[in-house]
Structure 1
Amino acid sequence: MTDEQFLQRLRGIFNEEAREHLAQIDVGLVALEQAPEPQRDALLERVLKVLHTLKGAARTVDELELEYLCHALESVLAAARESGVHATAEQFDLLHKAAAAARQVVDAPGLRSRKVAGMLAEQVDAVARALLAQASAPPDAAPAPGFPMPGTPGSQPEPEPEPEPEPGAGPDDGADDGTGERIRIDGRCIDAIRTHVEALLPVELKVRHHVEELRALAADIATRRREDPARGSSDDGVRIELACTRLASSLEHTGRELHGVRARLFDAALETALVPSAAALNELPALVRNLARGHGKEVRLEMRGADVDIDRRVLGVVREALIHLVTNAVDHGIETPAQRKAAGKDPAGRIAIAVTQRDARMVSVRIDDDGAGIDTAALAQAAVRRTGLPDAELAQMSEQQRLQLALRAGVSTRSEVTHVSGRGMGLAIVADKVAANGGQLVVATMPGAGATFELLLPVGVANLRALVVEVAGARYAVPLTGLEAVRSEAQADIRTVEGRETVLAGTRVLPLVRLAALFGTAKPARAADEARGRGVVLVASAAGQAFGMLVDAIVAEQDLLPKSFGPLLRRVRWFSGAAQLGDGTLAPVLALEDIAGRGFAGASAAPAAPVAAPGPRRVLVVEDSVTSRLLLKHILEGAGCSVDTAEDGLDALSRLRAGRYDAVVSDVEMPNMDGLALTASIRANPATAELPVILVTSLQTPEQREAGLRAGADAYFTKGSFDQDRLLATVRRVAGMEAP
């Protein structure tokens, strides 16, 4: 290695070390500014030790301006410790500027950055000299409040030599807790090792596939021997069958050994790549302080979980997300001190960040603030104005679905754009980044009390535990982390609401997405009829929304190695990447966030109506309003139905006892017996338990729709967004009518 190569390597090590030190200095300065007096001495000692270590490192690479700046900061803190004087916010501004200048020297070394560092070092040094002069003044002299700023007149003695830290007391002296030696490794080396380890997973899947092929071959030979005893009695046939069986068993044993070695290697590689989440948290205190100062606000930042380890690739996502979310909390959420006082709150706002390990696979990063919360009404108006969201779709949204509008690009409640925010991009960026790495972003709010954003991310982003499902002859991978339940189509309670299919999951009415229709691979109508009831409904959750997905079958549950589509296909709708299966085929990995949005947008249409024997269908219309009753009767008779009418639920039950009907179309709010009670009575009677019931009502909140479907209705329409064609299509489907 030449001298020049050695110096370049030394500089790289210094840059990495210096960034760690500067992050600790930022945190220490913010903590020192906010700490009560009894805690200041300990904080001063901690920051002094870090500064002293950084100063020595700067000296080794000839960064003289950085060394001088660290020395000046040391002098100020040492003088503060000796004099007992606490700085004002303006004086801490100077210290933060000095720390930012030091970071600039590390990140972008050059004449300009070094010149700025030198100028700030002189200003900070002047503060230290003035402070020492104040400390040595006669006891009866009036002390000046806070640190004196540069330019204080009078004689100024040189600062005393700074105390040397105790050996080994620095925050990163290169040694660990005594269990082994700590070394620095280039991140690219770690990534290369892990890439090779991850590549063993497809190899393991191929071995499993070959085992299945051998067993199938042995079974085929055995079947042929039974079908043709003359040929099957030959020694060659028996020998080949036994050889295939033995080879399959041996290969299966080898596969188990490979699985064990791969799993241990993967865990070791992942452990090597884990870094404390403190690397993403340490820069936030200075960011919050500076943002709050710039907005005339007071904000306290509380952080927990800095020692939770995260994959270094996931850490980048966490870091970027936290910057956006913290900026959003200070700019949008936390009120000014005057506004908070008027609301009966502490003048200083609070932002709390907690990193916790939820389980072996997932880590939670939660950001809470006690600000004004999210104005969902203003958010909905912004979504309508900026993205063209239809009013009818907005009216059907629950409060949680409206909150998710904040994650759409371009949606912002701000009426003006500042250098910090206002374009509606920050939260959209966070949501996209989290989804691309197999995670979820959950939003919650309480008006006047604050908002919560929770990131759920995998500890590592290497392998994926997934269900491999089949849809129209193709295979897809569904991440297990987003699944809540699995049930057969025959057992699932599929209903129609506003012409959209839904599925009942417990007490929840969830939108249903038929993946074959979504991907454009749906079977012809007659084939679909034959396959109806044989599929599987997957209840999933993403982006704070629950929904159902209908697939043809579940093939397997296994670990997969997902890969992105590459730079030319950065964003493919419905899919986040692809994974190689054991037989070498590629299975697209479903992007559950995309499919959740599709389900709530109502794009999952009901399947084609089954073809039934021709002839009119008898429909009973139950409606207390004469106008609505005649309108529904006219629409249905125009479609070829035979229609009877009833004025309320009791009248309808009387008619149902007297005659046979193919469907009931009923209002909900009626005298004597309403539509919910009528539906429940129909379901309770064995003679009418299977009779299709469609509710048409002015009640349109999610809770009211759920009440109707829980009562047993097959479909639900609201009069405010009434669609004649969808009503007729639903009646044809549930009543088994032939399309006219």
Structure 2
Amino acid sequence: MPLGNDDLLPLFQSEASGRLNRLDEVLAKGSPDPDGELWRIARRELHTLKGAARMMGLTEIAEVCHQAEDVIDWPAEDGFEILLGLIKRVRTMVGTIGVIEGSAGGEPVNGTQEVPSLVVPQAQPSLDTRILDRVSDQAVHLSFLSREIGAMVEALHAMARTAESGVTDGQPEQVLATLALSLRRAALSAGQAHSRFDGLLEQQLGSLLSIQVQPVRPLLSSLGNHAVELGLSLGKTVAAEVESAHCRLDRRIMDALRQALLHVVRNAVDHGIEPETERMELGKNPTGTVALRAETRAERVRLVVSDDGRGINPQEVLAKAVERGLVSKEAAEALEEDGIRQLLFHSGFSMRDQTTEVSGRGIGLDTVADTVRRIGGDVWIDAVPGEGTQITIDLPVSRRGEPILVVEAGGYKVGIPAHQVRAFGGSGVARDSGAGGAAPSDGVAVSVELSTRFGLAPAENGSTVVHAKSVGIPVDLVVDRVIGEEEVFLHSWPKFLGRIPGTEAMALLAEGVPIAVLDLQFFIQPTAGEPQAFATSSAEFPPLKVLLVDDSRITREMFRRILADGGVEIILAASGEEALGVLDDRTVDCIVTDIEMPGIDGLELTRRVRASSEWEHLPVVVVSTRNQPSDRMAGLEAGADAYLAKQNMMGEELLTLVERLGGRR
């Protein structure tokens, strides 16, 4: 369950109990007709409960609900008894959520060893037999599909032979008509096969990745123990708090991140926590606290390491950066606090002049930032002098392709990590001829014209602004045009090229073209002598009004929080009928709707919106746990502007999409 949503547990348990009671009422009437209304009601209740569990990060409950759905979709002789057993299991799991979490979360981690050491249990993939069975079944379906594709290839060869014979035919029109009909049939068959192949491949990839995903708690607990032990070795009393709920992360990502997190914990104890006497003089608890927390946010995980120590003095950091030649005096004068804190990510930067066994080696936060970016994440620092420091790391749940936004600047294609993009569109950038190192004031984002930074001429026919965020700092990239989003594998640059400034990695697009993926932190750093552009932040615009339609209370509340955090005004509706009533009375900028709802469902609501002359241009986003290609096609055919799968969705993705469709560019 996402950290910070603990208060939603009672709401989830209440909603889940209500839906399980309705399931009991339906199934108490005996085994329903698989094609009847009672069976559809049972499936809808399970589907909604599964979606709410996924939104809360309760993956085990969601998985059992999914198994129950499969029993309904594929009736067997003993299916009714299996279904009753699965529902009973879900009820038990829902009733013990608080008990399980309460015994594991938020307790201080104690340590007694004098020599600090990090002992982290190596997570091992747990091979669930249900997952193996599912992968095997999917492999069989793929083999059948391969044969079908082979038949289509043979049909294409036959058409080629027909075309060759038609070259000398006295009536080529007849041959062309035959070919046109055959090609249409082949295109239809190929499209259907591609949809099935895409769906099966995505299911198999999900099943395989689920084997790699492991609980985060063992890693965080070990780091907490290390913090306690390190404090003892430095003559400090440190308590560690670990909170991870049901958070899980790809084993390979945890392995790559382990050393980086160790640097963060060491910095918190060595740099952050004061000695007992100093803390007592400041009126603080003599025992310092290092907190390690993890939360799941859709398809991403956020790790937070914080301490209640001395915090970060921006002026001391700035003085040290100038002393070490990391920033010029002229550029330093214009830096705001956010920009100053990010100087700590510079290679070799340290606040210590002396090297110790713990720190001062210049391999701290710059190593953390490089590691996090290599695995598709982002990292930033927040700190208050005298109160403490917090380092936040945002990561993908699993290691797969990296989504990037492909843009063009100066005639060249480059990629921007999609998780850093907030929105794009429009222009209207005002140029400031002052020092290039100037940082923005409140309400203004740093803006960089990429073509100019590349030493190339910008496009003459207008530009587009990509609003992004890196290391906690907003940055607007002025590009010639946005091409689209693509999922790619990131590759290191060849060794003979070395590290190319301003780039994070290289990638191959689907068309086979290699492109550079940008390191946005590079463009935030002050560069003396270069003109600096500023663009007004979206906070100055009136808030978007979004109608959120979902019959699940927990889903409505979680989506409401995601959108409200982005400054969006939310109007809630629990059904399609209620949503139509809201549209009659109020003006909204966008609709976000689920599909599975009693009465008027999301697809019918979308059709009615499109059929109305008053609402036909209103953007509609469908968000559902249905993620098959046929489901997406049904949503788009009903008139939706976008279709998002809840299990693959990031909160920022929904917010960005709503802002873009609602006219907030």
Question: Normalized against structure 1, the TM-score is what?
Answer: 0.48
| Structure 1 residues 92 and 404, CA gap change in structure 2 (3 angstroms) | closer
The whole-number CA distance in structure 1 between the counterparts of 2:184 and 2:204 is 30
1:417 CA displacement? 2.0
1:436 equivalenced with 2:374 (yes/no): yes
Q: Closer, same or farther in 2 for the Cα pair 1:365/1:591, shift >3 Å?
A: same
Give the aligned partner of residue 511 of structure 1.
Answer: 446
Q: Aligned partners of 1:567 and 1:182: how far apart in 2?
A: 43
Q: Secondary structure at the match of 2:348?
A: coil
In structure 2, the CA distance between the partners of 1:393 and 1:582, relative to structure 1 (3 Å rule), is: same
> Aligned pair in 2 of structure 1 residues 383, 232: CA closer, same or farther (>3 Å)?
farther
- SS of the residue 2:267 aligns to: helix
**Which of 482, 486, 493 matches 2:429?**
493
Q: Which of 531, 546, 559 is equivalent to 2:487?
A: 559
- Cα distance change, pair 497–305 in 1 and its aligned pair in 2 (3 A): farther
Change (3 A) 1:570 1:249: farther
SS of the equivalent of 1:319 reads: helix
The offset of 1:603, in angstroms, is 7.0
Write out aligned runs for 1:329-728 (5 A): 329-359=268-298, 361-489=299-427, 492-498=428-434, 508-520=443-455, 522-523=456-457, 528=458, 531-532=459-460, 534-565=462-493, 571-597=499-525, 600-601=526-527, 605=531
Q: Which has the larger radius of gyration?
A: 1
- Kept in 1, the 8 Å contact 2:409–2:479? The answer is yes
For the residues of structure 2 that align with 1:549 and 1:559, how far apart are their CA atoms? 20
CA distance in structure 2 between the aligned counterparts of 1:500 and 1:263, rounded to whole angstroms: 46
Cα offset for 1:539?
A: 0.9
SS state at 1:498 partner: coil
The change in CA–CA distance for 1:513 and 1:242 in structure 2 (over 3 A counts) is farther
Deviations 1:381-405 (A, max 9, x none): 1111113411110111110100111
Inter-CA distance 439–604: structure 2 relative to 1 (3 Å threshold) = farther
After superposition, the C-alpha distances for 1:312-347 in whole angstroms (9 at most, x for unaligned) are 121023322221111101111111110000000111
Q: Secondary structure at the match of 2:191?
A: helix
> Shift in Å at residue 92 of structure 1?
7.9
**2-structure distance, mates of 1:282, 1:92:** 11
Say if 2:198 is the partner of 1:273.
no
Q: Following the alignment from structure 1 to structure 2, what is the Cα–Cα distance between the partners of residues 288 and 512? A: 40
- Same amino acid, percent of matched pairs: 27
Once residues 436 and 175 of structure 2 are traced to their aligned partners in structure 1, the CA distance between those partners, rounded to angstroms, is 60
For 2:386 and 2:288, the matched residues in 1 are separated by 12
Cα distance per residue 1:498-551 (max 9 Å; x no partner): 16599999x73223222223334x23xxxx5xx435221101111121111122
CA 1:253 to 1:570, structure 2 compared with 1: closer, same or farther past 3 Å? farther
Q: Tell me how far apart the structure 2 counterparts of residues 175 and 362 of structure 1 sit (CA, whole Å).
A: 20
Distance in structure 1 (CA, Å) of the matches to 2:466 and 2:262: 35
Distance (whole Å) between structure 2 residues aligned to residue 419 and residue 449 of structure 1: 26
- Cα-Cα RMSD: 4.2
* Aligned match of 2:227: 288
Q: Choose between structure 1 and 2 for higher RCO, CA contacts under 8 A separated by at least 6 residues.
A: 2
**How far apart are 1:568 and its partner, in Å?**
5.3
Structure 1 CA distance for aligned equivalents of residues 190 and 524 of structure 2: 41
Question: CA separation in 2, counterparts of 1:481 and 1:495?
Answer: 27
The separation in 2 between residues aligned to 1:92 and 1:532, in whole angstroms, is 64
Please say if residues 437 and 527 of structure 2, whose CA atoms lie closer than 8 Å, have aligned partners that are also in contact: no
- Residues 1:382 and 1:393: Cα distance change in structure 2 (over 3 Å): same
Shift of 1:290: 2.3
> Does the 8 Å CA contact 2:421/2:467 hold for their aligned counterparts?
yes
| In structure 2, distance between residues paired with 1:261 and 1:250 | 16
> Cα distance 1:567–1:302, how it changes in 2: closer, same or farther (>3 A)?
farther
What one-letter code is carried by the residue in structure 2 that aligns with 1:578?
M
5+ residue gaps, structure 1: 1-90, 108-171, 186-192, 208-213, 215-230, 608-740
Map 1:108-123 onto structure 2 (within 5 A): none
| Counterpart residue number, 1:261 | 200
Q: Secondary structure at the match of 1:254?
A: helix
Q: Tell me what 1:326 maps to.
A: 265
Aligned residue pair count: 396
SS in 1 for 2:448: strand
Cα deviation, 1:263-320, whole Å, max 9, x if unaligned, reads 1111111101111113422322332222111211111000010642111121023322
Q: Secondary structure at the match of 1:583?
A: coil
Amino acid at match of 1:584: G
Q: Do the aligned partners of 1:560 and 1:581 also contact (CA within 8 Å) in 2?
A: yes
Could you report, residue by residue, the CA deviation over 1:227-269 in whole angstroms, capped at 9, with x for unpaired residues?
Answer: xxxx999344555555544444433332222211121111111
- Cα distance in 2 for partners of 1:451, 1:606 equals 30
The one-letter code sitting in structure 1 at the alignment partner of 2:492 is S
Q: Is the 8 A contact 2:447 2:532 kept in 1?
A: no
**Alpha carbons of structure 1 residues 605 and 234: separation in structure 2 relative to 1, 3 Å:** farther
Instruction: Name the amino acid aligned to 2:472.
Output: G
SS at match of 1:457: strand
**TM-score w.r.t. structure 2 length?**
0.53
CA distance in 2, matches of 1:486, 1:410: 34
Structure 2, unpaired ranges of 5+: 1-109, 150-155, 157-169, 534-665
